[in-house]
Amino acid sequence: MLIDRFWKEMESVHSAMLSVGDARHVPMSPYARKEDRAIWFITAQGTALVEAITSGQSDASLIVTGESNIHARIEGSASLVQDRAKLEELWNPVASSWFDGIDDPDIRLIRLVPTEAEVWLTSGGMGFAFELVKSKLTGKQPDTGEHFSVTF
């Protein structure tokens, strides 16, 4: 099932560009959780993303590209969530670099519930390079991988 493939591939994503409402896309660390049907982000009070959600905006866009075999445009709805157990589950050395510990009062959790995604799965950098070379030798277009859309 394509939705299962989406969640499996998203597990390997460690950086993406998130936008909410009229807040511009910014780099964030996504934490995809199939069991929650959500992608989580740890951010701080006062950021443009938090301010957009606080002002009632919820339309979110996540752009994934570059580091793994998945490239995607994900649309959905974002909300702020206060959930200490979820924060403890997600907490990691990357998050701790931005805050004065897990009890920092500025920490905010954003929950992105996807509504649709357009996904490209590739064989990675070396696989793509091979396809480019092969296309030059055979005169055929390179196989750039699988492409599909998902509605949640």
Does residue 135 sit within a domain?
no
Distance CA 29, CA 99 (A): 14
Does residue 141 sit within a domain?
no
Does residue 133 sit within a domain?
no
Distance CA 59, CA 124 (A): 30
The tokens 């099932």 sit on which residue?
1
* Mean pLDDT, all residues of the chain: 90
How many domains, the chain?
1
Does residue 70 sit within a domain?
yes
Question: Which element (helix H / strand E) includes 77?
Answer: strand 70-81
Does residue 53 sit within a domain?
yes
Distance CA 37, CA 49 (A): 20
Does residue 139 sit within a domain?
no
Q: Residue 131: which pLDDT band, with cuts at 50, 70 and 90? A: very low
Does residue 140 sit within a domain?
no
The answer to whether the pTM exceeds 0.75 is yes
Nearest to 111 by CA among 129, 87, 133, 128: 87
Does residue 55 sit within a domain?
yes
The CATH number of whichever domain residue 110 belongs to comes to 2.30.110.10
Task: Report the 3 state secondary structure along 91-104.
Answer: CCHHHHCCCCCCCC
**Structure tokens of 43?**
């951010």
Domain with 113 in it: 2-122
The pLDDT of residue 126 is 52
Residue percentage of the chain with pLDDT more than 90: 78
Distance CA 125, CA 66 (A): 9
Q: What residues are paired with 112 via a beta bridge? A: 39, 78
* pLDDT tens by residue, 81-117: 999 999 999 999 999 999 999 999 999 999 999 999 9
Distance CA 124, CA 107 (A): 34
* pLDDT tens by residue, 22-39: 999 999 999 999 999 999
